[in-house]
Amino acid sequence: MRILGATKCLIVIDSVIRTKFTNGEVTLCNTPVNAIDLSMYALNRVKTTLEPIIVGSAYESDITLLTKDPYIAENKILSLICTPIQYNKNLKAIIYVENNVTKDSFTDHQVDMLDIVATQMGISLQNMHAFDAQMIMAQQNIEQEARTKQEIMYAKQQEDFVDRICHEIRNPIQVFKLSRINHVGYTRKL
């Protein structure tokens, strides 16, 4: 983001700031979006229109709602880019870049570079979601396999139990049968 001349860059996914670049440092975070961190007008406009906002002097912009944005007015933001990260025309994230030092600090070349980065990020985010889905399916398959093994083991234990009970019942019956046969034979002899 230094190449862009940005003093602040945020990557917002699902209304949560995930990455923050300020003062040359990159921070991974998980902070809900609020008006303290960025221009809510710019963010919401990009969310609804899926069109980027590129302003050379946000504080003095022709876009009335932008100049009335409390964050821009309070921080006197000069240059601003807010662009969607899309994959197959689906919004995946938003890149918010600002410069509060110089007007018109973002050149056409830098904006084109940011578009290329945003396109690649959209593909990467889609791949990440696909990978996450595959990992969830793999975990579910492992759990299902474990349950199936447990069910098979339980069925085998039940079968063994029934076999033992049958054996235990058969033995006394056999003894009774033999003793009855012997008793009948003994009675006949008498």
> Do 30 and 68 form a contact (C-beta atoms < 8 A)?
no
DSSP3 helix / strand / coil % (the chain, rounded to 5): 55, 25, 20
Structure confidence at residue 88 (pLDDT): 86
> Do 98 and 8 form a contact (C-beta atoms < 8 A)?
yes
The answer to the question of residue 151 being in a domain is no
CATH of the domain at 19: 3.30.450.40
The answer to the question of residue 51 being in a domain is yes
- Domains of the chain: total: 1
Name residues whose C-beta falls within 8 Å of residue 155's C-beta, 6 or more positions apart in sequence.
Answer: none
The answer to the question of residue 40 being in a domain is yes
The answer to the question of residue 167 being in a domain is no
Q: In a 10 Å sphere around its CB, with 0-12 CB exposed, 13-18 middle and 19+ buried, how is residue 185 labelled?
A: exposed
Range of the domain at 130: 8-136
Structure confidence at residue 189 (pLDDT): 59
Q: In a 10 Å sphere around its CB, with 0-12 CB exposed, 13-18 middle and 19+ buried, how is residue 107 labelled?
A: exposed
The answer to the question of residue 30 being in a domain is yes
The answer to the question of residue 110 being in a domain is yes
The answer to the question of residue 148 being in a domain is no
Query: Per residue in 93-112, pLDDT tens?
Result: 898 888 877 777 777 777 78
Q: Tens-of-pLDDT digits for all 190 residues of the chain?
A: 555 567 888 889 888 888 888 877 888 888 888 877 888 888 898 999 998 888 876 656 666 567 678 888 888 788 888 889 888 888 888 988 888 777 777 777 777 877 888 888 888 888 888 898 999 999 999 999 999 999 999 989 988 888 888 877 777 777 777 676 666 555 555 5
Distance CA 84, CA 75 (A): 23
The answer to the question of residue 67 being in a domain is yes
Structure confidence at residue 183 (pLDDT): 60
